[in-house]
């Protein structure tokens, strides 16, 4: 029987305490233990970006991390992007309005990646966006409308005052105090 360990972490603003196998990945923990299936698994070896979450504010491949490594940490998944769990975040609305997705498989990872990018660079260029999402593979869109949506989101987020429309957990920049 595999070794188990008790972990305590915050996911989308909610504290969870669970006992998990030490070899369970963070992605499987989110999907199977917490039923947060918005975090997708494509390659399961760090290439496609579909499993991207924010880990203490930094984007991270949840397929490459163990759940026990998240003990004591703060995780944001795509389910936590909405400011209140009902209203679309401006980034999500921009993706909807600009057809920034087709099948949607890559979308959760791209959204979490862009949440970090737009937080740290509220006025990105097209190149900034393309470089920023270069670790996220999309088999459908050709990326064009994703880039259009991201640029539109940046504008919307600056227009609503506050550039940083808060997410569920209001994860701030890890370097904001530096
Ligand atoms: S499933 Fe994690 S990077 Fe592809
Ligand atoms: S929309 Fe289908 S993989 Fe990106």
Domain that holds residue 54: 4-80
Nearest to 51 by CA among 123, 116, 133, 106: 106
Give the ligand at the shortest distance from the Cα of 49: 1
Where among 45, 80, 115 does a domain terminate?
80
Out of 38, 45, 59, give the residue to mutate to test ligand 1, the one with the largest number of ligand atoms within 8 Å of its CB.
45
> What is the residue-wise DSSP string for 40-104?
--SSSSSSS-TTEEEETTEEEEGGGSBGGGGTT-EEE-GGG-SSSSSSPPHHHHHHHHTT--SS-
pLDDT of residue 2: 80
Q: Could you read off the pLDDT of 31-81 as tens digits, one per residue? A: 999 999 999 999 999 999 999 999 999 999 999 999 999 999 999 999 999
pTM of the model: 0.91
**Torsional sign, CA 98, 102, 104, 106:** negative
102 shares a domain with 63: no
Query: What is the C-alpha to C-alpha distance for residues 123 and 8, in angstroms, rounded to an integer?
Result: 36
Please state the domain count of the chain. 2
Query: What is the C-alpha to C-alpha distance for residues 25 and 28, in angstroms, rounded to an integer?
Result: 5
Mean pLDDT, to the nearest integer, of 5-26? 98
Regarding the beta carbon of 108 and ligand 1, being less than 6 Å apart is answered no
Question: Can you read off the two tokens belonging to residue 176?
Answer: 């904001």
Ligand 2 centroid from CA 72, angstroms: 33
115 shares a domain with 76: no
Q: Could you read off the pLDDT of 134-162 as tens digits, one per residue? A: 999 999 999 999 999 999 999 999 987 54
52 shares a domain with 120: no
**Percent above pLDDT 70 for the chain:** 89
Length of the chain: 178
Q: What does the mean pLDDT of the chain come to?
A: 92
Kindly state whether residue 85 falls inside one of the protein's structural domains.
no
Query: What is the C-alpha to C-alpha distance for residues 51 and 54, in angstroms, rounded to an integer?
Result: 10
Kindly state whether residue 168 falls inside one of the protein's structural domains.
no
Give the domain CATH number at 106.
1.10.150.120
Give the ligand at the shortest distance from the Cα of 144: 2
Kindly state whether residue 76 falls inside one of the protein's structural domains.
yes
Beta strand 4-11 with 14-21: parallel, antiparallel or unpaired? antiparallel
State the burial class of residue 178 (Cβ atoms within 10 Å of its Cβ: 0-12, 13-18, 19+).
exposed
70 shares a domain with 115: no
Kindly state whether residue 27 falls inside one of the protein's structural domains.
yes
- Closest CA to ligand 2's atom 3: 138
């Amino acid at each position: 029987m595999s070794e188990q360990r008790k972990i305590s972490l915050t996911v989308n603003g909610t504290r969870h305490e669970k006992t998990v196998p030490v070899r369970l990945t963070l992605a499987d923990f989110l999907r199977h233990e917490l039923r947060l299936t918005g975090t997708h698994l494509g390659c399961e070896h760090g290439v496609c970006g579909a499993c991207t979450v924010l880990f203490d504010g930094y984007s991270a491949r949840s397929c490459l991390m163990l759940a026990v490594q998240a003990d004591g940490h703060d995780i944001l998944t795509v389910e936590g992007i909405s400011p209140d769990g009902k209203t679309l975040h401006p980034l999500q609305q921009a993706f909807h309005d600009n057809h920034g997705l087709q099948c949607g498989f890559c979308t959760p990872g791209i959204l979490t990646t862009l949440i970090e990018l737009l937080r740290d660079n509220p006025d990105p260029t097209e190149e900034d966006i393309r470089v920023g999402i270069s670790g996220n593979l999309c088999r459908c869109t050709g990326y064009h409308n994703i880039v259009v949506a991201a640029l539109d989101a940046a504008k919307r987020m600056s227009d609503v005052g506050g550039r940083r429309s808060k997410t569920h957990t209001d994860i701030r920049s890890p370097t904001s105090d530096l």
